[in-house]
Structure 1
Amino acid sequence: MRPDLLPPPQDGAVPNNALPAHVYRAALTGLTPTQIEAHLAARGWTNTWRNGIYPYHHYHSTAHEVLIIARGQASVTLGGEGGPQVTVGEGDVLLLPAGTGHRNDGGSADLLVIGAYAGGRDWDVCRPGETDMEEARARIERVPGWDRDPVD
């Protein structure tokens, strides 16, 4: 399945990544949360959680993140203020390279997101204006790539 590629802005308060965000539409529709977690683990995306997406701009400087919409829908801004906004729904998958800003701009009451990290890496939460940008960029540069696509 070929994703939509969304390059985030490179000139704002979020470091982002030279790699674009990937949006796979309806890639994991019809799976239970447990099935989604097993699917991700088989592809090397672990350290999973179930919840939503923070309603403020943030990014992770120590890990590539994948977000799967298991239930409901949300509108998400990528890359920080002024970045592209996408509407995602059940089965959609967002692959966010380390440093890619994201924020939930509103979602349905039944929204359930499953998140995981390439190689099960530990993750941090960085916020624009609260995190040293140069230190975050240095951490992002050290994050190894993912071994396997979370969808294939």
Structure 2
Amino acid sequence: MQGNLAVVTLEHFADDGGIPNNVLPVVIYKGALSAPSAEAMEALFDGNGWPSAWRWSVYDFHHYHSRTHECLGVAQGSARLQLGGEGGRVFAVEAGDVVVLPAGTGHKKLSASGDFLVVGAYPPGCSADLLRGEHGERPGADERIAQVPLPQTDPVGGQAGPVLAKWG
């Protein structure tokens, strides 16, 4: 962690019937980077064994990934994200924050500043599918989520950190 300034919270979400969520908690790092940029987020994730995969935003509809865990690093701007599906909770994120979503966790952008930019990353060898909690996705999605291995490193803390401590 850059400067050890991050405040870490763990958030749990139950299966809502459409979005499976996960028994593993979402890990939210507030202020993981004190001087955030897309390049700094990519360096943080790449250096901690979570290859950066894209720069963009977050979809404005509820969705989840059944084949991988996902890391969202806010490189610039701010947003309100709803995690956990329709019955989930809303979180304000801003530049420097990192959200680590275990496979199956619903997420959606509710609103964002015009300059909102996210760097996405996944554990090595993983890529995301896109599911929306629609009829017919499960139980196949549940089976895939159960097979997603635990990551070997924490995208912010490397060989230490809450992803390893709380997911292991």
Shift of residue 2, structure 1, vs aligned partner: 5.6
* Stretches (4+) displaced over 3 A: none
Shift of residue 106, structure 1, vs aligned partner: 0.5
Q: Which has the higher contact order (CA 8 A, sep 6+)?
A: 1
TM-score (normalizing by structure 1): 0.94
Alpha carbons of structure 1 residues 70 and 47: separation in structure 2 relative to 1, 3 Å: closer
Matches within 5 A, 1:30-109: 30-109=35-114
Unaligned runs of 5+ in 1: none
Give the whole-Å Cα distance in 2 for the aligned partners of 1:36 and 1:131.
36
CA contact (8 A) 2:70 2:101 kept: yes
Give the whole-Å Cα distance in 2 for the aligned partners of 1:124 and 1:130.
16
- For 1:85-132, what per-residue CA distance to the aligned partner results, in whole angstroms no more than 9, with x for missing partners? 100001000000000000000000000000000124011011111551
Give the whole-Å Cα distance in 2 for the aligned partners of 1:108 and 1:51.
13
The 10-residue stretch of structure 1 (127-136 or 75-84) with the greater mean CA deviation from structure 2: 127-136
Q: What's the counterpart of residue 125 of structure 1? A: 130
**Amino acid of the residue matched to residue 72 of structure 2?**
L
Give the whole-Å Cα distance in 2 for the aligned partners of 1:147 and 1:100.
19
Where 2:17 maps in the other structure, the secondary structure is coil
Shift of residue 33, structure 1, vs aligned partner: 1.2
Aligned length: 152
Unaligned runs of 5+ in 2: 1-5, 158-168
Among the aligned pairs, what percent are the same residue?
Answer: 42
Alpha carbons of structure 1 residues 101 and 131: separation in structure 2 relative to 1, 3 Å: farther
The 10-residue stretch of structure 1 (16-25 or 35-44) with the greater mean CA deviation from structure 2: 35-44
Shift of residue 14, structure 1, vs aligned partner: 0.3
The 10-residue stretch of structure 1 (108-117 or 22-31) with the greater mean CA deviation from structure 2: 22-31
CA contact (8 A) 2:52 2:119 kept: no
**Amino acid of the residue matched to residue 134 of structure 2?**
G
Give the whole-Å Cα distance in 2 for the aligned partners of 1:68 and 1:49.
10
Tell me if 1:113 matches 2:124: no
Matches within 5 A, 1:24-35: 24-35=29-40
